[in-house]
Amino acid sequence: MFDPAVSDQWWKNAVVYSVDVETFMDSDGDGIGDFRGLTRRLPYLSGLGVTCLWLLPFYPSPNTDDGYDVSDYYTVEPRFGTLGEFVEFVRTARDLGIRVVIDLVVNHTSDQHPWFQSARRDRDSRYRDWYVWADERPEDEATVIFPDQEESNWAWDEEAGQYYLHRFYSSEPDLNTANPDVRDEIHRIMGFWLELGVSGFRVDAAPYLIGDTGIEDRMPQDPHLILQDMRGFLSRRRGDAVLFGEVNLDPGDRETFFGDDGDEMTGMFNFILSGSVFTALARGEATPLAEHLRRTPTPPRTSQWLNFLRNHDELNLSRLPDDEKDDVMAAFAPDEDMRIYGRGIRRRLPPMLGGDRRRIELAFSLLLTLPGTPVLLYGEEIGMGDDLAIEGRKSVRTVMQWTEGPNGGFSSGSDLVAPVVDDGPFRYQEVNVAEQRRREDSLLNRVERAIRVRKESPEFGWGAWTVLDSGDPRVLAHRCDWLEGTVIAVHNLSGDHVETRLEPAREEEFEEVIDIFGNDRFEPLDPDDPRVSLGPYGYRWLRGRRPGSGLTP
């Protein structure tokens, strides 16, 4: 029976779409995406089946780190619009059934933020202790995150006469989260945006809020209390709001960010699952992905894993075993220019898969059926490519491709905030929303149908999962059970035809099993002899009905 205590956990069956305001849609011809443009495209996202928008930073910023160097947490970057236009955007999204989650970047600020400017000028400033200072650069320091651009986590400030801590770029001094005033300010920031209608936050660099801070001796005895306080504040202000954590840590460490009772992160991005998907795709076998699923712990009742293929940064492979990382690099980033930081790949999904429609569809099918909540990057639904001529991680942040017209329909201007892909197989003249809407067999229409079936199958998001014995290392089969419903997904990771018999992993037999989605028309499955035949990179979603359940598939 459904538990009403968790009826507001909308994120368990959500479809999340990550979008950068400045590269999505320009409404006024200045070459920069804005909130009026994004609002205009909300019906498109609603039609696609999106139920939650995750916005990358849109705050005022010197933009030395693509907006993650925030200089004011309480307004909108003027290039993107006004607070009023933001509120209108949130209201329109809500009317279309779409919630809005925004980036909460409070591990650091910009060095241009008034807090830091006051802190560096005056040791008696109330903001001095909002940052982390040292008279001498510590000899023992943590690993430098961006070794190609920074030599140390400490930078000398001539005006302050001290070193300051920065775990990311030197233009982004770390906030001192050991200071209760800083933690109170974080709550005020959250409260401000909640009042404007957002449904929660994606917490950037969550581990650096409580660890590797350079001030461990001043932190609470249990630093996780900081995250518990954030979650408690959020729940008091809005009971159904979320904290989605960027937590790229090893197994055993990452799970602690859910909290002992699910009282920290509502959802966590599953970086290890993402890497395992690409290992499976690279090797053409399901074993590494199946092993990861078996080792993945079930999150607390009030929490969730967030699954993704690619995001707005590099494909980070740092948590994979060396042999898996080497295989993924060799398969999908054979040229050094495709790699970054020695740990990642700066390409989008379709170019990595050589534009192979079968493999792209297979990857989407995995994303939508693996246990948890799927997160799509803008443009994935049409198979957008990347631009490796752009420096660093920005290669995947090209502008959205709407039409075959000038600038891909993104802007009527001539000076764009980011290049449009106008060469090669992923150029906007060939890959765009308008063209794919006209073709019934397009990737866009296929993804839209897949999302619709995924939303009709809440077992994938809510259910307990089991990896089934497929008897073939090339085939991943898993089932998800919730209430009286069961769904089963079968994927062929290889380029071969395969035939396998599924072991149900349950004693009961299904009275009926029907297909609900797949890449082909299949013969009906016999519940007493569940043999499955799949073509190269084939996939099949099934729903079973138990005897006496009274439910139709």
Q: What pLDDT sits at residue 505?
A: 56
Q: What pLDDT sits at residue 282?
A: 98
Q: For 246-264, what is each residue's pLDDT tens digit? A: 999 999 999 999 998 899 9
Q: What pLDDT sits at residue 524?
A: 85
pLDDT band at 155 (very low <50, low <70, confident <90, very high): very high
pLDDT band at 508 (very low <50, low <70, confident <90, very high): low
Q: What pLDDT sits at residue 493?
A: 98
Predicted confidence (pLDDT) at residue 300 exceeds the cutoff of 80: yes
Question: In whole angstroms, what is the distance from residue 140 CA to residue 354 CA?
Answer: 44
Question: In whole angstroms, what is the distance from residue 354 CA to residue 359 CA?
Answer: 9
Question: In whole angstroms, what is the distance from residue 548 CA to residue 427 CA?
Answer: 54
Q: For 178-199, what is each residue's pLDDT tens digit? A: 999 999 999 999 999 999 999 9
Q: What pLDDT sits at residue 510?
A: 77
Q: What pLDDT sits at residue 548?
A: 59
What are the extents of the domains in the chain?
A: 114-165, 464-545
Q: What pLDDT sits at residue 5?
A: 43
Q: For 29-69, what is each residue's pLDDT tens digit? A: 999 999 999 999 999 999 999 999 999 999 999 999 999 99
Map tokens 């799970």 to a residue.
Answer: 255
Query: How many other CB atoms are there within 10 angstroms of residue 126's CB atom?
Result: 11
pLDDT band at 19 (very low <50, low <70, confident <90, very high): very high
Predicted confidence (pLDDT) at residue 106 exceeds the cutoff of 80: yes
Predicted confidence (pLDDT) at residue 404 exceeds the cutoff of 70: yes
**Sequential DSSP letters for 127-148:** TGGGB-EESS--SS-PPPS-TT
Q: Which CATH number is 114-165's, of 1.10.3720.10, 3.10.350.10, 3.90.400.10, 1.20.120.1750?
A: 3.90.400.10
Predicted confidence (pLDDT) at residue 528 exceeds the cutoff of 80: no
pLDDT band at 274 (very low <50, low <70, confident <90, very high): very high
Q: What pLDDT sits at residue 332?
A: 97
Whether 204 is catalytic is yes
pLDDT band at 213 (very low <50, low <70, confident <90, very high): low
Q: For 530-551, what is each residue's pLDDT tens digit? A: 889 999 999 999 998 776 555 5
Predicted confidence (pLDDT) at residue 308 exceeds the cutoff of 90: yes
Question: In whole angstroms, what is the distance from residue 178 CA to residue 206 CA?
Answer: 14
pLDDT band at 1 (very low <50, low <70, confident <90, very high): very low
Whether 246 is catalytic is yes
Tell how strand 485-492 and strand 498-501 pair up: unpaired
Q: What pLDDT sits at residue 4?
A: 37
3-state helix vs strand vs coil in the chain, percent to 5: 35, 20, 50
Q: What pLDDT sits at residue 545?
A: 78
pLDDT band at 266 (very low <50, low <70, confident <90, very high): very high
Q: What pLDDT sits at residue 3?
A: 42
Tell me the fold of 464-545.
Immunoglobulin-like (2.60.40)
The two domains 114-165 and 464-545 share their CATH topology (first three levels equal):
no
Tell how strand 512-518 and strand 162-165 pair up: unpaired
Predicted confidence (pLDDT) at residue 212 exceeds the cutoff of 70: no
Identify the active-site residue in 34, 246, 324, 472.
Answer: 246
Predicted confidence (pLDDT) at residue 6 exceeds the cutoff of 50: no
Q: Output the pTM of the full model.
A: 0.95
Q: Widest CA span of the chain, in angstroms?
A: 77
What percentage of the chain has pLDDT greater than the value 90?
84
pLDDT band at 140 (very low <50, low <70, confident <90, very high): confident
Q: What pLDDT sits at residue 525?
A: 82
Q: Mean pLDDT, to the nearest integer, of 480-507?
A: 88
Tell how strand 531-534 and strand 539-545 pair up: unpaired
Helix (H, G, I), strand (E, B) or coil at 274: helix
Contact (Cβ atoms closer than 8 angstroms) between residue 115 and residue 164: no
Q: What pLDDT sits at residue 388?
A: 95
Q: Which of 17, 36, 37 is nearest to 410 (CA)?
A: 37
Q: What pLDDT sits at residue 248?
A: 93
Predicted confidence (pLDDT) at residue 103 exceeds the cutoff of 60: yes
Cross-strand bridge partners of residue 186: none
Predicted confidence (pLDDT) at residue 454 exceeds the cutoff of 50: yes
Q: Which two tokens stand for residue 198?
A: 């957002």
Question: In whole angstroms, what is the distance from residue 265 CA to residue 252 CA?
Answer: 15
Identify the active-site residue in 22, 34, 204, 263.
Answer: 204
Work out the mean pLDDT of the chain and round it to a whole number: 93
